[in-house]
Chains A and B, each alone.
Chain A
Amino acid sequence: MSEVILATQGLQKSFGALKATDDVSIDLRPGEIHAIIGPNGAGKSTLIAQICGALASDTGRVELLDRDVTALNTEQRARAGLGRTFQISALAMEDSVEDNVRLGAIGAMGSPWNVFRPVSRSADVVARANDALERVGLTGARETRCADLSHGQRRQLEVAVALTLEPKAFVMDEPMAGLGADGSKTMTGFLDGLRDEAPILLVEHDMDAVFALADRISVLVYGKIIATGTVSDIRASDAVRTAYLGENA
């Protein structure tokens, strides 16, 4: 396996005069959780959108498995192996939990064109979807309409849909947001195990979770990476203390 699964080089995105991301170069290695932390408005979601192809970058490159994917759009990057979760759940709210994960499974298999055969008869789609539900603990809510789920369940479902893709790299935008203490703990345990399947680029606000999970942390402030290192490096860094952690202390 290659040394680096996912990498960005000099990514930049401006909204008018505002540089939301500015010369961001990070990488994600096999088996690791690389956390991106930073204050609100630092550009974390923008960076994720650039990595996943939802936002076109002004300059810079994105590489996945040594392949330049900068010119690819979102669907092509997903097919190349990116598994994204959204900060604000982007689920089909009118549909059941099951339909939402089946959507992921159909996408992963590239098989949306059958207009006549019931999905429930596609054994591989069903199996893949059920498997993902079971792993995040949503099997019991399979037939629940997505709009009727609790906030925490929606966060779990976000992750379940990404699981159906069996991606080469996960890119997660605040999966713990609004989960509460217990929910955060469960999700932390889950992500901890997930890194063995595919490395995770994890944007997260929950510092306990980040310090518990991350192999490396990058600190993003005003669109720039001001430090990258291990948990202890980052905790010890003066620059990070003043620029970011200091705000919380």
Chain B
Amino acid sequence: MIREGVINWAILLGLVALPLWAVFADEIFTITLTTRVVILALAAVGLNIALGIGGMVSFGHAAFFGLGGYAMGILAYHAQTYAALDFGIVEIEGTKSMPVIWLVATAISALAAWLIGLLSLRTTGVYFIMITLAFGQMFYYFAISWGAYGGEDGLSIYVRNGFPGLNTLVPIQFFGLCFVALCVALILQWRLRGSSFGLTLNAARQTPERVETVGLNPMKLKLLAFVISGAITGLAGALFADLNRFVSPAMFSWQLSGELIILIIIGGVGRLMGPVIGAMIFVALEHWLGGLTDFWHVYLGAILLFIVLFSRGGVIGFLTGKEGPHV
């Protein structure tokens, strides 16, 4: 059995090595694929904080992914058309600056997560799954009907947004940005898990009555975790929109919420690198099998079933021989 730390570093190293190799081999598409892995992993790192540590099975995280995406789409669209965003009282210029877009995307996602969490966290179990799903669908149908920003057809952005000092149109540079964002989120999750907050949140998942008995409110703990979680997934949404230079209601779809859960389960629930290895496997399957058959989700389902039946700790659990993250 391999130590988890070794596996984690190997995964990160592989994730950097692949696109670097692709630069020299002139395999641009591989860089794009790896960037997709990194962004999906980032979205799932967000979900993993809520799901893996806090035990909140959110089936609506696409809401935050989509909000991040549309934050980018709308700001860039207004910059592209030179028409200010009219809020009635104030007008706001669009922007093509990534740092600004990221800030807006995380702030809006965090706010939405706070509201959704406030309403959903009164429930647990299946009810929590259903209510988060319902919120996700609400955003999905809203996006479809929002004609000003493309409605069902989505919104194309013609120029990639900029980051000071970088040429984001160069694929490896954009990859680098996304990779740094992923690393920051991973460091945050790692530190969070070892902090007072992580300790109490993790206990709130297992034994909420104990947490109350020591004078803490499990709901408040979970709410903060949900907000952090939503903000990270929202940032991933903004990056995803920039990768594709396109946003559409599909970013809000329940399929996307489900895929985020699936790739966490494949990688290992609550494991630091679970979302990363999960995203690698997911994108690899999507790419290779998706090229062979339209029914590649069947194979994804088979893998998921296999993992649920034979390795409850996902791929990381299988490699380390440890079922849970805290053993």
A complexed with B: yes
Residues on B with beta carbons closer than 8 Å to the beta carbon of A165 = 214-215
Bound-complex Cα distance A20 to B237 (A): 53
Q: Are A112 and B196 neighbours in the complex by a CB distance under 8 Å?
A: yes
| Closest B residue, CB atoms, query A146 | B206
Dominant secondary structure of chain A at its interface with chain B: mixed
Q: Are A116 and B210 neighbours in the complex by a CB distance under 8 Å?
A: no
Q: Are B327 and A145 neighbours in the complex by a CB distance under 8 Å?
A: yes
Residues in A85-113 with C-beta less than 8 Å from chain B: 86, 90-96, 99-100, 102-104, 106-108, 110-113
Dominant secondary structure of chain B at its interface with chain A: helix
Q: Does B199 sit at the interface, judged by CB under 8 A?
A: yes
Smallest Cβ distance from A115 to chain B, in angstroms? 4
Q: Which of B199, B213, B215 contacts A99 (CB 8 A)?
A: B199
Q: Which of B188, B202, B215, B217 contacts A92 (CB 8 A)?
A: B202
Residues on B with beta carbons closer than 8 Å to the beta carbon of A111 = 196
Bound-complex Cα distance A75 to B218 (A): 9
Q: Are A103 and B214 neighbours in the complex by a CB distance under 8 Å?
A: yes
Q: Are B203 and A92 neighbours in the complex by a CB distance under 8 Å?
A: yes
Count residues of B near A (Cβ-Cβ below 8 Å).
Answer: 29
Bound-complex Cα distance A226 to B153 (A): 75
| Closest B residue, CB atoms, query A122 | B196
Q: Are A90 and B209 neighbours in the complex by a CB distance under 8 Å?
A: yes
Q: Are A90 and B210 neighbours in the complex by a CB distance under 8 Å?
A: yes
Indicate with 1 or 0, residue by residue over B201-230, a CB within 8 angstroms of chain A CB atoms: 011001101111111110001001000100
Knowing A54-B209, A78-B215, A106-B216, the reply to whether A115 touches B195 (Cβ < 8 A) is: yes
Knowing A113-B197, A118-B195, the reply to whether A95 touches B213 (Cβ < 8 A) is: no
Q: Does B122 sit at the interface, judged by CB under 8 A?
A: no
Knowing A78-B213, A78-B215, A107-B216, the reply to whether A92 touches B197 (Cβ < 8 A) is: no
| Closest B residue, CB atoms, query A165 | B214
Q: Does A119 sit at the interface, judged by CB under 8 A?
A: yes
Q: Are A115 and B210 neighbours in the complex by a CB distance under 8 Å?
A: no
Bound-complex Cα distance A58 to B170 (A): 69
Residues on B with beta carbons closer than 8 Å to the beta carbon of A122 = 196
Q: Which of B196, B206, B216, B326 contacts A119 (CB 8 A)?
A: B196
| Closest B residue, CB atoms, query A171 | B213
Q: Which of B196, B212, B224 contacts A78 (CB 8 A)?
A: B212
Smallest Cβ distance from B187 to chain A, in angstroms? 9
B interface vs A, CB < 8 Å? 188, 191-192, 194-200, 202-203, 206-207, 209-217, 221, 224, 228, 324, 326-327
The 7 A-B pairs of least Cβ separation, nearest first, read A107-B214, A78-B215, A74-B212, A79-B215, A112-B200, A92-B203, A92-B206
Can you add 17 more A-B contacts, CB < 8 Å, to A75-B217, A113-B224, A164-B214? A78-B215, A93-B207, A94-B324, A94-B327, A99-B203, A102-B199, A103-B210, A103-B211, A106-B200, A108-B214, A113-B196, A114-B195, A116-B188, A119-B194, A119-B196, A122-B196, A165-B214
